[in-house]
Amino acid sequence: MFSRRFATLSANLLQQESSVIRNFLIKLISRLFMPGIAKEMEREGQFDFQKRGPEEEYDYSQYIQVEDNGSDVTIVSFAGMAVLFAGMPQFEFRHMLKRAAKGCNLVFVRDLRRAGYCQAPDGTPTGLDFYERIVGDALKQLGSKYNIAMGASAGGAGAFYVSSRLPIHQIITFSPGFPPEVYFNRRTQLSTYFNLWRLIREPAAYFEVLLVTVGGMYVYHRACKLLGEKGIPDITGDYLKIKPAPPRATIFYGERCVPDRNQALLHRDIPQVTIRPVDTGRHNCAGFLRKQGQLVAVLTEEIEAGLSAWRERTGMADTTPAMEQ
d(CA 137, CA 151): 19
Kind plus residue range of the DSSP H or E element containing 323: strand 322-323
- Per the model's pLDDT, the better-predicted residue between 145 and 7 turns out to be 145
Q: pLDDT-based confidence at 23, cuts 50/70/90?
A: low
- Prediction pTM value: 0.80
How far, in Å, are 71, 146, 281, 297, 307 from residue 301 at the CA level? Answer: 19, 16, 23, 6, 10
Can you list the alpha helix ranges (DSSP code H) found in the chain? 2-33, 35-43, 54-57, 94-100, 127-142, 154-163, 180-184, 186-193, 196-201, 203-227, 235-240, 258-265, 285-291, 295-314
Dihedral sign computed on CA atoms, order 140, 67, 283, 293: positive
* Domains of the chain, CATH where assigned: 52-323 (3.40.50.1820)
Out of 28-42, 78-92, 297-311, pick the least confident: 28-42
Radius of gyration, alpha carbons of the chain: 20
Q: What is the pLDDT of residue 149?
A: 97
Three-state helix/strand/coil letters over 183-224: HHCHHHHHHHHCCHHHHHHCHHHHHHHHHHHHHHHHHHHHHH
Q: What is the pLDDT of residue 2?
A: 39
Could you give the angle at the alpha carbon of 258 between the alpha carbons of 222 and 81, nearest 5°?
30
Q: What is the pLDDT of residue 22?
A: 52
How do residues 174-232 score in pLDDT, each as one tens digit?
A: 999 899 888 888 888 888 888 888 888 889 888 888 888 887 787 788 888 888 888 89
Strand partners, 322: 102
Phi, psi (rounded to 5 degrees) for 165: -125, -15
d(CA 264, CA 276): 8
Q: What percent of the chain has pLDDT over 90?
A: 41
